[in-house]
């Protein structure tokens, strides 16, 4: 590792909570990739003789109303959540970065128009907008990711724009311009790399938000469709059987809580590590 990266890592790993969050996320990825090898059960195998069993040595998290192993479904559900988090935030960051770069670099009417669009988008109760679009489309996890991404880029755009505005007047940008660098080269080679660090923080926290949104959508029945397990839709049946089967509601919720918490801790850790003024 070279200088600044090493320094960043040293600072980051000094933060025990952030490090723990990173380990949990790594573990989750491992679990979800190796899901079929870890558990002896099939996530979709219906077993009418073992319906709604409480947690036991055989079924650590109990079974659901169709006799499926809840632990298995929670592990497979991790795939959905991790994927949604990554792709949705990827889209949000890509759109937000491009918008922010253009607005900040070109200024003038380009800036006014783009920032007014940001203002307008920010007025909508995001969950309403997502709900309206998702419910009208064929149920698909890809739509969910795209829609969450397309309704979540505004914060990134503002961040990048602010960063570009403060970088634009620096000497090294003027120097590049004097040397005859094109706009594109200045934007992508000189400004973008310098504007990335606040984006990294906001993206990590954004993953947490996207996971929460997906689980809420699936809980309402318009996200990931059964039988594909997701933490949100396991909780839907948890709600229906809450009087008899607490385990159906408890474990998927804890899974969401731990995952979101980990991403938040990592995000805060990155922020503190990038900003020397913010010592804990």
Residue appearing with tokens 């380990």 = 23
The C-alpha atoms of residue 136 and residue 196 are separated, in whole angstroms, by 35
CB 280 within 8 A of CB 272: yes
CB 66 within 8 A of CB 51: yes
Q: C-alpha distances in angstroms, 4 versus 8, 123, 226, 278? A: 6, 39, 46, 17
CB 28 within 8 A of CB 78: yes
Site map (CB under 8 A) of another protein, residues 221-250, x = contact: --------------x--xx--xx--x--xx
Shortest gap between Cβ of 93 and another protein (angstroms)?
20
Q: Which residue, 66 or 131, is less far from another protein as judged by CB?
A: 131
DSSP state of 137: S
Kindly calculate the radius of gyration of the chain based on its CA atoms and give it in whole angstroms: 22
How many residues contact another protein, by CB under 8 A? Answer: 43
Residues between 249 and 278 that touch another protein (CB under 8 A)? 249-250, 252-253, 256-258, 260-261, 264-265
Residues between 61 and 120 that touch another protein (CB under 8 A)? 116-117, 119-120
Is 146 an interacting residue with respect to another protein (CB under 8 A)? no
Residues between 197 and 226 that touch another protein (CB under 8 A)? 208, 212, 215-216, 219-220
Sites of contact with another protein (CB under 8 A): 116-117, 119-129, 131-133, 135-137, 208, 212, 215-216, 219-220, 235, 238-239, 242-243, 246, 249-250, 252-253, 256-258, 260-261, 264-265, 280
């Amino acid at each position: 590792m070279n200088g600044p990266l090493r320094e960043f890592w040293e600072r980051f790993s000094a933060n025990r909570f952030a490090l723990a969050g990173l380990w949990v996320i790594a573990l989750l990825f491992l679990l979800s990739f190796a899901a079929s090898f870890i558990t002896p059960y099939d996530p979709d195998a219906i077993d009418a003789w073992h319906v709604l069993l409480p947690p036991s040595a055989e079924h650590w998290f109990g079974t659901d109303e169709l006799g499926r192993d809840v632990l298995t479904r929670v592990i497979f559900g991790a795939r959905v959540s991790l994927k949604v988090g990554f792709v949705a935030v990827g889209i949000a960051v890509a759109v937000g970065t491009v918008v922010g770069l253009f607005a900040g670099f070109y200024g003038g009417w380009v800036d006014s128009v783009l920032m007014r669009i940001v203002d307008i988008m920010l007025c909508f109760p995001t969950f309403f907008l997502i709900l309206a679009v998702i419910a009208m489309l064929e149920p698909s996890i890809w739509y969910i990711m795209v829609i969450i991404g397309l309704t979540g880029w505004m914060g990134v755009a503002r961040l990048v724009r602010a960063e570009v505005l403060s970088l634009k007047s620096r000497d090294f940008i003027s120097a590049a311009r004097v040397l005859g660098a094109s706009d594109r080269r200045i934007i992508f080679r000189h400004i973008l790399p310098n504007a990335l660090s606040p984006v990294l923080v906001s993206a990590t926290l954004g993953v947490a938000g996207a996971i929460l949104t997906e689980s809420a959508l699936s809980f309402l029945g318009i996200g990931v469709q059964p039988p594909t397990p997701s933490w949100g839709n396991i909780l839907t049946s948890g709600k229906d059987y809450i009087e008899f089967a607490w385990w159906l509601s408890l474990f998927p919720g804890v899974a969401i809580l731990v995952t979101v918490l980990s991403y938040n801790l990592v995000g805060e850790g990155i922020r503190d590590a990038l900003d020397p003024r913010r010592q804990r």
